[in-house]
Amino acid sequence: MEYSNKLLLKGNEAVVYGALLAGCDCFFGYPITPASEIAQTAAEKFPLLGRTFLQAECETASINMVMGASAAGRRVMTASSGLGISLKQEGVSYIATMELPCVIIDVMRGGPGLGNIAPEQSDYNQITKGGGHGGYKVIVLAPGSAQEMCDFAGLAFDLADQYRSPVYLLTDGVVGQMLESVTLPAPRPRRESPEWALDFKVNPRTNYLTSIYMEPADLEKVNIHLNEKYARIEENEQRCEEYLADDAEFIISGFGICGRVIRTAAERLREEGIRAGVIRPLTLFPFPKKAFRKHAEHAKSFVSVELNNGQMIDDIRLAIECSRPVSLVNRMGGNLVTVDDVVRHVRKLAKGGN
């Protein structure tokens, strides 16, 4: 039988395959719905390839294991959802300050509180605005399919290494649980420990990593350095997918599963003679401001489609500097926005409604 690099995978499974093919050494995590298949698949596949898998006793322990493995020069990943991500945020703040590369998967569920296990997108602000204490930021990728869960895993590790930063893959429970055909990328060699790592074989006991600076002047220097890095990331790493946007009067935006809903909605609106187009952010930090500002020159109105109380809409308003109206189509609690919801909303806007 001939080898095939195509598999039928859930998004949660595909991200593990993508991470392993990108040379991920370690996975530390704790299962939580709707992200549990990530830990399950990692538990099956990592040991088969001689990699390290460990189910921690809790989310707090797992992010601290990520910190230690990254400091030792390993490519490392963890995954969770909702309240599990909240518990990791103190550790993420430490990791960002120490400039340690790692990849964190957040498959979002309903909230706040314990919420439920249905898909939502309510972690947007928590992830894109830092989440933990202090003025740090992290790179945030927004996959919208099982294929992108696989592909973005490799991109996430590359960006994490390039900028010495945590990188999130932020998606929703629909994408995590959806079963789709995935074409696996070619495997890459596992990278050597970087020069800054606390790896005895690389640089025996001469490197120093910390996130505590008792002198205000020292901590200010760290913050200045970090913010200069974030400015470089904003300038160089904005990513989005544009569809039918060049002449659009109505620009519709969404990420995760909403990014697929709005594409179909734009096609249906075009059939009705309404010039609708799509900007789907592939990076949520840095937010693709350049694309939104470019299309604000000709678009009459923007629409943000979200599975939350309206969070990305604030970034759209900031991106276009409030030069055009921005409205919201949303559902919460684990309910999904439909194509009809979006079409009705834009149709009303086209007729002059609010």
Distances (CA, A) of 53 to 25, 193, 205: 9, 19, 26
As a whole-number percent, the residues of the chain with pLDDT over 70 amount to 97
* Among the listed residues 8, 63, 21, 15, the one whose alpha carbon sits nearest the alpha carbon of residue 39: 15
Instruction: Give bridge partners of residue 76 from the DSSP assignment.
Output: 26
The predicted pLDDT at position 206 comes to: 80
352 confidence band (pLDDT: 50, 70, 90): confident
Mean pLDDT of 322-338: 96
Residue 4 has pLDDT above 50, yes or no: yes
Mean pLDDT of 323-343: 97
2 confidence band (pLDDT: 50, 70, 90): very low
181-217 pLDDT tens trace? 999 999 999 888 999 999 877 766 688 899 999 999 9
* Among the listed residues 94, 53, 50, the one whose alpha carbon sits nearest the alpha carbon of residue 76: 53
214-256 pLDDT tens trace? 999 999 999 999 999 999 999 999 999 999 999 999 999 999 9
CATH number for region 240-350: 3.40.50.920
Asked whether 123 and 108 are in contact (CB, 8 A), the reply is yes
The predicted pLDDT at position 353 comes to: 67
Tell me, what amino acid is at 7? L
Q: Average pLDDT of the chain? A: 96
Residue 42 has pLDDT above 50, yes or no: yes
The predicted pLDDT at position 354 comes to: 65
For 113, the 3-state DSSP assignment is coil
275-301 pLDDT tens trace? 999 999 999 999 999 999 999 999 999
Residue 1 has pLDDT above 60, yes or no: no
Mean pLDDT of 149-168: 98
Stated as kind and residue range, the H or E segment containing 38 is: helix 36-48
Question: Looking at the chain, which residues constitute the CATH 3.40.50.970 domain(s)?
Answer: 6-236
Question: Looking at the chain, which residues constitute the CATH 3.40.50.920 domain(s)?
Answer: 240-350
The predicted pLDDT at position 39 comes to: 97
The predicted pLDDT at position 298 comes to: 95
Mean pLDDT of 65-91: 97
Distances (CA, A) of 282 to 54, 211, 274: 30, 30, 25
- Give the orientation angle of helix 146-163 with respect to helix 11-21, to 10 degrees: 40
208/172: higher pLDDT:
172
The class (CATH top level) of 6-236 is alpha beta
Distances (CA, A) of 24 to 89, 94, 116, 333: 22, 21, 31, 34
Mean pLDDT of 1-18: 87
